[in-house]
Structure 1
Amino acid sequence: MKHKITPLLTTNIPDLTLCNRGKVRDIYEINNTLLIVATDRISAFDVILPSGIPYKGQVLTGLSEFWFNYTSRIIENHLITTHIEQMGNPVISRHKDILAGRAMLVKKVKVIPVECVVRGYLAGSGWKEYQKTHSICGIKLPAGLKESDPLPEPIFTPSTKATIGHDENITFSKVTDMIGKNLAEELKEKSMKLYLLARDYALDRGIIICDTKFEWGITEKNTTILIDEALTPDSSRFWPQDGYVPGKPQHSYDKQFIRDYLESVHWDKKPPAPTLPPEIIQKTSEKYLNAYKALTGQNLL
């Protein structure tokens, strides 16, 4: 890492209305738009950790911008701009030193309360569920699969969108009950389409996208668009193709590294979370920066 910075754990911008402080993002309301600011906070097992990860917010914003632009040819999204000077707001401009590189101005939409997860490989909670039932979210899978194996084909495995506590895997029929059959089918189709496009792009750059999570919203014109973040190390598992060996956990560019550390110290996964050692913080920061470079071909720093 070229130089150290102090992680940004929270923002407080006078003259802007803070409408939500999430696990990672601070969201401000500006007329009919939202300013989404990615801090360096990190959560694991749905608990915000006391330690921040340097450059994490910039990686999340930069990668989301990259993917929103790359996928806009097939799916509309909420991004207006990440460029402070194009936001046309003097308050934002006055806080450019904090916001540059980590803020997105986006369209305000009605959020659909479903986490749209697409899995191409067997890992994480999907692997745990498969070991018990040979299925994930009610989708039956062949017997004899190993951890990290590719699935016969990608599957749509939605979960609840919890504002507090843990997201919970649900069946597609449950999604249909929640939001209606037509919208559920649309989310599934669009999520699968996005995953396949991103998977193929990433593979060409030596990255396996094991799984990823999409979020969707509905505009005033009743159009369903991609929102939140897209294909970042927070919302996806990225594995280096070099060294990929099924049958065990994989090295990753994402926050699975943090989860593995927390499992090793036998934390009960309830607040308060333990402070991360400096070497874990630095290694995680490097993983995020490496993911950005591998996928965009650019150095963030």
Structure 2
Amino acid sequence: MNLVGWQHEYSGKVRDLFTSADQPGRMLVVASDRVSAYDHVLEPGIPGKGELLTRLSLWWFDRLDIPNHLVEGSVPAEVADRAMLVKALDMFPIECVVRGYLSGSGWKEYQATQSVCGVPLPAGLADGDRLPEPIYTPAYKAPLGEHDENISFERTVELVGADTASALRELSLRVFSQASAIAEERGVILADTKFEFGADVDGTITLGDEVLTSDSSRYWDASLYAAGNRTASFDKQIVRDWLSAHWDGIGVPPQLPHEIVERTAARYRELIERLTAQQGASA
């Protein structure tokens, strides 16, 4: 992708980063339609995904009581709907994962150890149960093409220091609590999510990357959950489930069927409609 005035610096699984000599200290984050699962980029992409998730990130950034990386300014017209102009951060090599419910890899680990990422949990929990309180389960951000690694809080202290590690944990839990309350007002459960933080030029810990999107979070329909359906998610679980059933994890993943692509896009759109349609004190 060529953007006038911007130099491509890096492409991750789903986003592309650009810098500009005319705007030092600023970066352009462009969300693509690429979709990833189990650390692989899949084909084809999800039409409109970049625009949808950028819109959702911007909506959440506007509601969270925490410094974030957004800055004012114009972006190239050809990516205006799926780009964010941000300040450059010194990113911490940690994915700050918060879980409010037992699901996914956490459920698998709990069955074997009655804990998640070293955090002990009560006996007798079932898949999809709400935890007594949200837990912080950080992961090490692996380089592109490698698997992220769940780590202990003690390991985060080794990576970033005790003060920063404690601040990341406190901020993550606080933002998760705030976002959960906003989602619940709209009939949506935020089951778990991951945040990424960095330090700005003044050393302020700042929320970066995307935030609370369908790619970085697990969302459920609250009414269906209450009725016993704990599988009706608004995220890319549709993609994960199909891939798990049709791929053994070896070699190149198979192409996603058209039906899976369309269903995933529809769930992304529905989540945004559910979250943003209601108006109120926090809307």
TM-score (norm 2): 0.93
- Deviation readout 1:176-222 (Å, 9 max, x if unpaired): 11111110000000000000000001001010000000000001101
Contact 2:66-2:206 at 8 Å conserved across structures: yes
Partner of 2:2: 12
Distance 1:247 1:262 in 2: 24
Tell me which of 205, 214, 220 is aligned to 2:186: 205
Partner of 1:237: 218
* Cα shift at 1:12: 3.3
Partner of 2:17: 27
Partner of 1:121: 101
Partner of 1:76: 67
- Deviation readout 1:3-43 (Å, 9 max, x if unpaired): xxxxxxxx333542111100000100122111000010000
Distance 1:99 1:268 in 2: 36
Tell me which of 131, 140, 164 is aligned to 1:183: 164
Distance 2:219 2:244 in 1: 19
* Cα shift at 1:59: 1.2
Tell me which of 39, 44, 50 is aligned to 2:43: 50
Instruction: Compare 194-203 and 30-39 and name the one that shifted more.
Output: 30-39
Distance 2:112 2:259 in 1: 35
Contact 2:224-2:230 at 8 Å conserved across structures: no
Q: How many residues align?
A: 274
Distance 1:271 1:66 in 2: 37
Tell me which of 159, 162, 166 is aligned to 2:139: 159
Spell out structure 1 runs of 4+ moving beyond 3 A: 245-249
Distance 2:245 2:107 in 1: 19
Partner of 1:217: 198
* Cα shift at 1:297: 1.3
Which secondary structure does the structure 1 equivalent of 2:63 belong to? Answer: helix
Partner of 1:282: 262
Please give the root-mean-square deviation of Cα atoms over the aligned residues, in Å: 1.5
Distance 2:26 2:2 in 1: 18
CA distance 1:128–1:246, change in 2 (3 Å): farther
Partner of 1:38: 31
Contact 1:157-1:170 at 8 Å conserved across structures: yes
TM-score (norm 1): 0.88
* Cα shift at 1:243: 1.0
Which secondary structure does the structure 1 equivalent of 2:66 belong to? Answer: coil
Tell me which of 232, 241, 247 is aligned to 1:251: 232
Distance 2:48 2:249 in 1: 25
Distance 1:249 1:207 in 2: 12
Query: Aligned letter for 2:170?
Result: E
Contact 1:146-1:246 at 8 Å conserved across structures: no
* Cα shift at 1:269: 2.6
Distance 2:250 2:140 in 1: 19
